[in-house]
Amino acid sequence: MTLIKSISGIRGTIGGNVGDNLTPIDAVKFASAYGTWIKQQRDKDSYRVVVGRDARISGEMIQNLVMNTLVGLGIHVIDLGLSTTPTVEVAVPMEHADGGIILTASHNPKQWNALKLLDAKGEFLNGEEGAKILDIAESNDMQFADVDSLGKITVNDAYIDLHIDEVLDMDLVNVDAIKKANFKVVVDGVNSTGGIAIPLLLERLGVHPVKLYCEPNGQFPHNPEPLKEHLTDLSKAVVKEHADFGIVVDPDVDRLAFMDEKGEMFGEEYTLVACADYVLSQTPGNTVSNMSSTRALRDITEKHGGTYEASAVGEVNVVNLMKKNNAIIGGEGNGGIIYPELHYGRDALVGVALFLSLLAEKKMDVSDLRASYPNYFMSKKKIQLTPGLDVDGILNAMETKYAHENLTTIDGVKIDFADSWVHLRKSNTEPIIRIYTEAPSQLKADELADRIISEIKAIANI
């Protein structure tokens, strides 16, 4: 299946058959449903939607289709052109818009693209809102504007700079200390819009950026997911340039990972840990991450006198729990920093500014900073189940088996042991159970995952 419709948007591969891939007809259909939903939210004379895209090859084509579909619905469009996911999120309230669309398939390879949908606050839609848009798309219940009521497209390419202005204005970004530190940083922009935004931010902070794959042409030089095995060129460049550290983002710049001065990964999970450590040291409070993220965030939060809580997986779930708990920082273990002082969305620019502030104030190497945090190791595996198996029944059986342990069941089954945990989640699209574990060593994390897999196979008789 290469066209995936979900409450958070629609994504698929370019080309192929209508309904099976992300074709122009599918893009128009879904944009029409979203625009119709926007107009149903409130009765007013005019509507505005912000649209931006990452640099992938199909982006311009999909953006033109989406924007002109909205025009056909009588909706005015603010065209940000090449942008980032957090930039569009920031732009929606600044423009007093009714919503926003980001055209990006995030860390997926270049043949993929997607429509990510925002509400009037610049935040991702909740499940009920997303389901409504899917219903509209399936029913074709859309009414387009007459010739005198068509929308207009206004180009505004200033928003990356405006986004950077907002980041630099945050109270905890210590611009003076960063400038005095005279950092040198290698940036892997994976030939997308991070190659525009991150070097611009660094230059404003007095940091010398060494650009690696920062040409926004959509020709990803490696798998765009910011994992260690994809970042050998960044590792070599950091060492060769005698840089203080390296930065890598995904194509739409909502995920952030660092590499230390030795060319070793800081760890995507620890991006949030470090940023939270800095924020909590200045403004004590609570934190939130999803259930599949490292326990180190809980440890750091409690060290600073705050309370940590875990949400179901998914950015909208993290945001909802952050609002409920008045969390001052949160995010996801995939390098997603959510700092509500600016907005409720994962934002690599915010993460870079907070991390640089932390480094400038601590005056220590990145490797030493990483060594100062609790050390945990993760294993991420999956078990393929035969179609027809009762996945919920298997998870219920595991819940019963470990009823004497600390259990959380808001999203699959998470079992918290004294020095480790395991999180079991079923896939929504295929008969798979995902098995994430964390422990004090890689060996123990892998052994725990293998043990759980064996227990599941025994329950399922496979």
Alpha-carbon distance of 11 to 113, in angstroms, equals: 6
pLDDT at position 4, please? Answer: 82
Distances in whole angstroms, Cα of residue 176 to Cα of each of 353, 364, 456? 12, 17, 55
At 251-302, the pLDDT tens digits run 999 999 999 999 999 999 999 999 999 999 999 999 999 999 999 999 999 9
In the numeric block, which tokens belong to residue 329?
A: 């920082």
pLDDT at position 387, please? Answer: 73
Distances in whole angstroms, Cα of residue 392 to Cα of each of 89, 354, 370, 395, 432? 36, 41, 39, 5, 11
106 is catalytic: yes
At 197-212, the pLDDT tens digits run 999 999 999 999 999 9
Residue 301: what are its φ and ψ, rounded to 5°? -60, -45
pLDDT at position 97, please? Answer: 98
Once rounded to an integer, what is the mean pLDDT over residues 239-256?
Answer: 97
pLDDT at position 429, please? Answer: 59
Which range is least confidently modeled, 338-352, 356-370, 429-443? Answer: 429-443
Distances in whole angstroms, Cα of residue 424 to Cα of each of 72, 268, 388, 452? 45, 21, 19, 9
Alpha-carbon distance of 179 to 279, in angstroms, equals: 19
E-only strand ranges, 361-448: 377-384, 406-408, 413-416, 421-426, 432-439
Residue 1 has pLDDT above 60, yes or no: no
DSSP code, position 234: H
At 131-158, the pLDDT tens digits run 999 999 999 999 999 999 999 999 999 9
At 92-113, the pLDDT tens digits run 999 999 999 999 999 899 999 9
Pairing of strands 377-384, 406-408: unpaired
Residue with tokens 């710049």: 253
Once rounded to an integer, what is the mean pLDDT over residues 316-343?
Answer: 96
CB 41 within 8 A of CB 120: yes
Catalytic residue among 8, 106, 293, 379: 106
Which one, of 331, 328, 291, lies nearest residue 312 by Cα?
291
At 74-86, the pLDDT tens digits run 999 999 999 999 9
Once rounded to an integer, what is the mean pLDDT over residues 26-45?
Answer: 96
* Mean per-residue pLDDT of the chain: 95
Alpha-carbon distance of 336 to 314, in angstroms, equals: 11
pLDDT at position 2, please? Answer: 72
pLDDT at position 32, please? Answer: 98
Alpha-carbon distance of 219 to 332, in angstroms, equals: 27
pLDDT at position 391, please? Answer: 85
pLDDT at position 66, please? Answer: 98
pLDDT at position 428, please? Answer: 65
- What pTM value is reported for the model? 0.94
Alpha-carbon distance of 15 to 214, in angstroms, equals: 27
